[in-house]
Amino acid sequence: MKKGLILILFSCLLTACSSLEEKRNERIRKNIQNIDALIIVHPTFYFDSNAEAKEAISFVSDFFINLKKPVFTLVETQELITAIHLTQASAQLPQSKYHSQSPSASNYLRYFPRIKETQLVQSLNGENKIKVSGKNIVIIGGYLLACLRTAVQHLSRHNLEDQSELNIYLPLRAIYGKDLNQQGSEILSKEGLQSSLNKWLPKETGYEVYRDEKLFLKVKENEPKILRIYVRPIKEGLFPLNQF
């Protein structure tokens, strides 16, 4: 009798968890409907040898790809992009069965198996000239203080040329190099951000930085162009996040 009750309770728990997961996924799908593009910066074991961000990058990118949203993946060289396209690989195959003349290409394919379903863009250090049809961009992958920062810089410049507003979302769980952000919400200083943004953007551009939905930095609030950056800090148990 007791065993049967335990089985019933376990079954109810699984049903409840499944229902919560579907509600969560539906909430994320609705959030992503309002996002115009996903940019993935260098998703590879070469840079993220411990696969710190692999699961989160796959989780986020799956939603965008399945919803047929624009997804751009930054890859270092054109030769590597060609090698990725030529490599025969499968997400189900073990590492030893990947067929490639390029170990670097295999690193990308093993780390991010759906990479061929995205638009590959040559970018050695995060630089790019991507223009998005819309004002909302999610950026994942890359080192926060290196190639990811360069990607944010270039996307901001190019996408504020023809529009007056740009919103960039950075879910930190999908960004590797955790040595750069072990302090969670304290990883970015106001002084460092302000200095960087002053160098990145034209003088007529204002900017706002939000961290965990709270305004962290606001400068030049009355300027005609505005860049908003939304940084979601690492918090255990809160990924997937409610909002990108």
pLDDT digits (tens, 9 = 90+) for 131-141: 999 999 999 99
Q: What is the pLDDT of residue 115?
A: 96
**In the predicted model, what is the mean pLDDT of the chain?**
81
Q: Model confidence at 195, in pLDDT bands (50, 70, 90)?
A: confident
C-beta separation of 244 from 32 below 8 A: yes
Cis peptide bond upstream of 240, omega within 30: yes
Domain assignment present for 3: no
Residue 71 lies in a domain: yes
Residue 242 — very low, low, confident or very high, per pLDDT cuts 50/70/90? very low
Q: Are strands 136-141 and 214-219 parallel, antiparallel or unpaired?
A: unpaired
Distance CA 220, CA 223 (A): 6
CATH number at residue 70: 3.40.50
Q: Is residue 8 part of a domain?
A: no
Domain membership flag for residue 1: no
Residue burial 11-20, b: 16+ Cβ < 10 Å; e: rest: eeeeeeeeee
* Segment among 60-69, 99-108, 221-230 with least mean pLDDT: 99-108
Does 7 map to a domain? no
Domain assignment present for 103 = yes
pLDDT band (50, 70, 90) for residue 179: low
| The amino acid at 11 | S
Query: Helix (H, G, I), strand (E, B), or coil: what is residue 203?
Result: coil
Q: Binning pLDDT at 50, 70 and 90, where does residue 198 land?
A: confident
9 lies in some domain = no
Total number of domains constituting the chain: 1
pTM over 0.85, yes/no = no
* pLDDT classification of 182: cutoffs 50, 70, 90: very low
Element (H, E) at 148: helix 147-159
Question: Is 168 contained in some domain?
Answer: yes
- Note the pLDDT tens digit of each residue in 34-55: 899 999 999 999 999 999 899 9
Domain boundaries, position 141:
24-232
User: For a pLDDT cut of 90, what percent of the chain falls above it?
Assistant: 48
